């Protein structure tokens, strides 16, 4: 049902925008008419809607108007590239976000806490394209440490992955700090301390396990968004990922590509949210996943 709504809204908005994919001034009216007939754009909007909906229900996302390739192939090829950058960005977000959040909570009110929270606030406030632009100016133009574009070498992944993860890293750090401070004051943590348990065990096995639940909730849409690809980051670094393809499809009015990418993103988002719900049962034993009695 969710995918159906996403498809319908996207189709409606896409066709509400004036113009079309064949608005080239150098193109004759006869050629434009033949192309519209070839791709079914000459038909009424309701007929095009049901025709494409029927193809999607059969697993056929159609063919790109721009390069005449199957949408499923284009999405798969773009997703492979986006997943490489996105996977690294997710790992960096989790690793450093958890560490910064825990350190800030354990040093509440101290210099380290203030420093980490300032960095996190900056990371949340500054857009990713600004981080990318500053990183390119400093690390690629001034010091020539990292390459400016592409994924030709391992060092090419560093700057786009950092720009992509800086916001989520900062957000996770703030969530963990707030959750840890709340959990640390609970009675079972005081009981664990009174029993003489090691500080490391109290933090990892008792405090962090319960404090991480809000992060798990956030990871659902985050993973879907990052894996599908950052539109801006891939555009800036000239990475041939799914995000860049989606932006180009919008500017070129490639209707099948726009719809196919949107449906793919929606499916990934639904899958990630489902995995988050399942993960709750493993992280917090108080949460049980039961089948509803019929």
Q: What CATH number is associated with residue 218?
A: 1.10.3720.10
The pLDDT of residue 173 is above 90: yes
The pLDDT of residue 293 is above 70: no
Position 118 scores a pLDDT of: 94
The pLDDT of residue 249 is above 90: no
Mean pLDDT of the chain: 84
CA 285 – CA 287 distance, rounded (Å): 5
Residues 248 and 161 occupy one common structural domain: yes
- Domain annotation covers residue 265: no
The pLDDT of residue 70 is above 80: yes
Q: What is the pLDDT of residues 191-203, one digit of tens each?
A: 777 777 777 777 7
Share of the chain above pLDDT 90, in %: 19
The pLDDT of residue 231 is above 90: no
Residues 131 and 91 occupy one common structural domain: yes
Residues 81 and 164 occupy one common structural domain: yes
Residues 52 and 148 occupy one common structural domain: no
- Domain annotation covers residue 42: yes
The pLDDT of residue 288 is above 60: no
The pLDDT of residue 39 is above 50: yes
Residues 94 and 239 occupy one common structural domain: yes
The residue with greater pLDDT, 219 or 199, is 219
Rounded to two decimals, the pTM is 0.81
* Sign of the torsion formed by the C-alpha atoms of 37, 41, 45 and 48: positive
Q: Mean pLDDT, to the nearest integer, of 137-152?
A: 81
CA 260 – CA 264 distance, rounded (Å): 6
Q: Mean pLDDT, to the nearest integer, of 75-89?
A: 89
CA 64 – CA 74 distance, rounded (Å): 9
- Domain annotation covers residue 262: no
How many domains is the chain partitioned into structurally? 2
The residue with greater pLDDT, 187 or 223, is 223
Residues 40 and 133 occupy one common structural domain: no
- Domain annotation covers residue 179: yes
Position 292 scores a pLDDT of: 46
Closest CA to 261 of 62, 16, 86, 20: 62
Closest CA to 171 of 120, 96, 137: 120
Which of the four pLDDT bands, split at 50, 70 and 90, describes residue 294?
very low
Q: According to DSSP H, which parts of 59-212 are helical?
A: 71-106, 111-125, 128-135, 158-184, 187-194, 199-201, 208-211
Position 116 scores a pLDDT of: 93
Domain that holds residue 52: 2-12+23-57
Residues 209 and 156 occupy one common structural domain: yes
Q: How many other C-beta atoms lie within 10 A of the C-beta of residue 219?
A: 22
The pLDDT of residue 274 is above 80: yes
Residues 6 and 91 occupy one common structural domain: no
Q: Mean pLDDT, to the nearest integer, of 38-43?
A: 83
Position 25 scores a pLDDT of: 63
Residues 179 and 134 occupy one common structural domain: yes
Residues 240 and 156 occupy one common structural domain: yes
The residue with greater pLDDT, 288 or 118, is 118
Q: What is the pLDDT of residues 2-35, one digit of tens each?
A: 888 988 998 888 888 777 777 766 777 788 888 8
Backbone angles phi, psi at 63, to 5 degrees: -120, 140
The pLDDT of residue 119 is above 90: yes
């Amino acid at each position: 049902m969710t995918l159906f709504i996403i498809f319908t809204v996207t189709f409606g908005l896409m066709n509400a925008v004036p113009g079309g994919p064949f608005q080239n001034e150098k193109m004759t009216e006869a050629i434009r008419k033949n192309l519209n007939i070839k791709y079914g754009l000459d038909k009424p909007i309701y007929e095009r809607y049901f025709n494409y909906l029927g193809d999607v229900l059969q697993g056929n996302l159609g063919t790109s108007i721009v390069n005449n390739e199957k949408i499923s192939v284009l999405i798969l090829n773009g997703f492979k590239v986006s997943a490489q950058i996105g996977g690294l960005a997710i790992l960096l977000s989790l690793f450093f976000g958890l560490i910064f959040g825990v350190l800030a909570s354990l040093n509440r009110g101290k210099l380290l806490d203030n420093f980490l929270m300032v960095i996190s606030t900056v990371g949340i406030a500054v857009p990713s394209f600004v981080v990318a632009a500053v990183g390119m100016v400093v690390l690629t133009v001034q010091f020539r440490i990292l390459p400016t574009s592409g994924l030709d070498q391992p060092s090419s992944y560093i700057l786009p992955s950092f720009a992509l993860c800086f916001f989520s890293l900062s957000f996770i750090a703030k969530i963990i700090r707030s959750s840890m401070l709340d959990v640390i004051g609970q009675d079972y943590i005081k009981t664990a301390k009174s029993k003489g348990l090691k500080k490391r065990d109290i933090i990892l096995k008792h405090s962090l396990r319960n404090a991480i639940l809000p992060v798990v909730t956030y990871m659902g849409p985050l993973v879907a968004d990052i894996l599908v690809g950052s539109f801006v980051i891939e555009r800036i670094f000239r990475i041939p990922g799914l995000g860049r393809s989606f932006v180009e499809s919008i500017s070129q009015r490639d209707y099948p590509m726009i719809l196919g990418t949107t449906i793919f993103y929606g499916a990934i988002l639904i899958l990630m949210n489902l995995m988050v719900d399942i993960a709750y049962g493993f992280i917090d034993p108080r949460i049980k996943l039961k089948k509803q009695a019929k």
